[in-house]
Amino acid sequence: MPQIFRYKARNMSGKLISGKVRCDSPGGVAALLREKNCFAVDIQPDRSVNFNVKKIIDVKIDIKSMAVLCRQFSAMLEAGIPLLRCLGTLKTQTENKRLSKILQEVMVCIEKGTGLSKAFSAHRVSLPEIFINLVAAGEASGNLDQVMAYLTTQFEKEHRTREKIKSAMTYPLLVAVMVFVSVAALMVFVVPVFAGVFDAMGAELPLPTRIVIGLSSMLAGHWYQFLLAAAAVFLVLKRISAKNDSSMVLTRMVLKMPLLGKLTRQMIIARFTRTLATLLMSGMPLVQSLEIVEDTSGSRLVAKEIRQARISISEGGKLASALGRSALFPPMVVQMITVGEEAGGISSMLERLAVFYEEEVESLYSSLSSVIEPLMIAFMGLMVAFIALSIYLPLFGMADVMQVGTEAAGGM
């Protein structure tokens, strides 16, 4: 995940320079500095408080636009269309204005003699890291059209998985919104009417009624404070999750949860196997592929486990044995990778694992959706019932008092 890094570096004349840059990892910052003929001295995450909107909103080009781009790029390169004409056609056809602007800037850089991968690497904030690295590999090996075909498969499958997840979670989210709106409407519009009636009658109210009326008064009179508090909590959690130690602790806590932990683990494995399979099929070496997977993992805990595996492999170890020492990867994954290594077909084995775990993720999301739906409906029913009961309890009490009074007046 992109973040701001502070760096100190020396240029070719030995002068010390410093600054800030937005990148996915310290390794990415070092690569950017090397492109400028500078050598990194120190790279640290920027800890200063910065509430830039771009840090809150994801600025990456969406996966669907990247899939369409790679498919069209691959087809045109296969047809033998020159690179600049390909980029010009892509710029015209894309519906994403930000991507169109990036392609225009890339064309300008290429016309000045810059390589394609270097031109794209100037837009690391907006483009996926795997795209930039594979473009560099394809450009170096001369099979850019094939690399684009691999990237098309990667992005299309990732987009398809996300869409299925979105579809599975749409109804539970809709129910959650209905619960919130229904309870808020009752508390803001209905409860104050009855509160005025009870206040005028001077009746002693039971505890549930006092609680509901108190919450209603707070919500109606200080709703903006609740919104500010929610925004503050969001920003604090965002800040905490940006720190390495806190992020890893949160990930470990999520992995220990009953259903959510299993889902998170399978999403991690699906993404790891899919990305690594794509990189290896494009002809990239294993250690370099793992470095890219580490940068694109999206989780500091996962990145740490992959980094340890990469170090082990660079020292002569095997991928399966390196992953076997991690608690993230189950025995089935390790065993299948072992078979792939022995048979010399590790990329195809990783592809099979990716397909299996992507299907498992979709299935688990459906299960999670089926569990959440009745729970949300039951919660809404209980909340409405509690509010209704708290309103009617004083009415029942007043009805009893009026009945006793009537009977006493009749006896006289």
Same domain, 81 and 7: no
Same domain, 210 and 236: yes
Choose the weakest-confidence range: 155-159, 257-261, 378-382.
257-261
Q: Are 233 and 317 in contact (CB under 8 A)?
A: no
Length of the chain: 412
Q: Which residue has the tokens 């009179």?
A: 221
Q: What is the three-state SS of 106-174?
A: HHHHHHCCCCHHHHHHCCCCCCCHHHHHHHHHHHHHCCHHHHHHHHHHHHHHHHHHHHHHHHHHHHHHH
Instruction: Provide the domain count of the chain.
Output: 3
Gap between the Cα atoms of 136 and 120, Å rounded:
9
What CATH number did the domain enclosing 29 receive? Answer: 3.10.20
Same domain, 185 and 301: yes
Same domain, 169 and 152: no
Q: Which helix (H) or strand (E) holds 97?
A: helix 97-111
Same domain, 192 and 72: no
Q: Which residue has the tokens 């894309």?
A: 94
Q: Are 278 and 154 in contact (CB under 8 A)?
A: yes
Count other C-beta atoms under 10 Å from residue 228's C-beta. Answer: 11
Same domain, 256 and 389: yes
What are the pLDDT digits (tens) for 168-224?
778 778 888 888 888 888 888 888 888 888 887 776 788 888 888 888 888 877 777
DSSP single-letter state for residue 62: P
Report whether pLDDT(240) > 80. Answer: no
Same domain, 145 and 171: no
Choose the weakest-confidence range: 13-17, 129-133, 221-225.
221-225
Same domain, 335 and 387: yes
Same domain, 151 and 169: no
Same domain, 93 and 205: no
The reported pTM is 0.65
Examine the fold and report which residue of 156, 188, 223 is the final residue of a domain before the chain moves on: 156
Q: Are 255 and 265 in contact (CB under 8 A)?
A: yes
What CATH number did the domain enclosing 183 receive? Answer: 1.20.81.30
Same domain, 186 and 89: no
Report whether pLDDT(158) > 90. Answer: no
Q: Which domain holds residue 69?
A: 63-156
Q: Are 108 and 91 in contact (CB under 8 A)?
A: no
Examine the fold and report which residue of 56, 73, 95 is the final residue of a domain before the chain moves on: 56
Examine the fold and report which residue of 156, 182, 197 is the final residue of a domain before the chain moves on: 156
Same domain, 235 and 331: yes
